[in-house]
Amino acid sequence: MGMLIPSNRYMEVKYEELLFEPEKILRQIMEFLELPFENSMIESFYKKTQNKLPQTAEPFHGNLKKPIDKKLAFKWRDNLSYSDQALAYRIAGEVFKELGYPLGNYKMSDWIVNLRKVYHFLKEGTTWRLRKFRKGHL
């Protein structure tokens, strides 16, 4: 994306950096936007989100109501299986490398990686159909 847009038109922010140094990164963002930084931006964020998050978003964005948790930065390592991590690196490894993320050493045969792709494709399709069925749209 950065190659398509002039550098003065976008700012790259890594999720992990924002978690570990929220004030520093937020100051950089505000400077980039040429807007003043105020300490209340971080403090009041939690108060503002307490009652504004729709109940339907709770399962996906429930952490918005909680203080910053640095453990979430690498939660994917615990939650994704080895084969799913290998699949992610196979698909987006070059992007990870370009963004400065460590690549890891995920060795897995092509047929297992392809099997995981099929699994995720079928799982996503089934989940979508089930949601539609529950809403009475199928």
Q: What is the pLDDT of residues 79-136, one digit of tens each?
A: 887 777 887 887 888 888 888 887 776 676 776 767 777 777 777 777 666 666 666 6
Shared domain check, 94 and 71: no
Tell me what percent of the residues of the chain surpass a pLDDT of 90.
12
Identify whether residues 100 and 131 lie together within a single domain: yes
pLDDT at 22: 87
The H or E element containing residue 42 is helix 40-49
Asked if residue 57 and residue 99 are part of one domain, the reply reads no
Find the domain containing 92 and state its range.
80-138
Examine the domain organization and report whether 59 and 17 are in the same domain.
yes
Yes or no: say if 2 and 23 are a contact pair by the CB < 8 Å rule: no
Q: At what angle do helices 22-32 and 40-49 cross, to 10 degrees?
A: 100
Position 24 scores a pLDDT of 94
Euclidean distance between CA atoms 134 and 119, whole angstroms: 22
Structural domains counted in the chain = 2
pTM > 0.95 = no
* One domain, residues 21 and 84: no
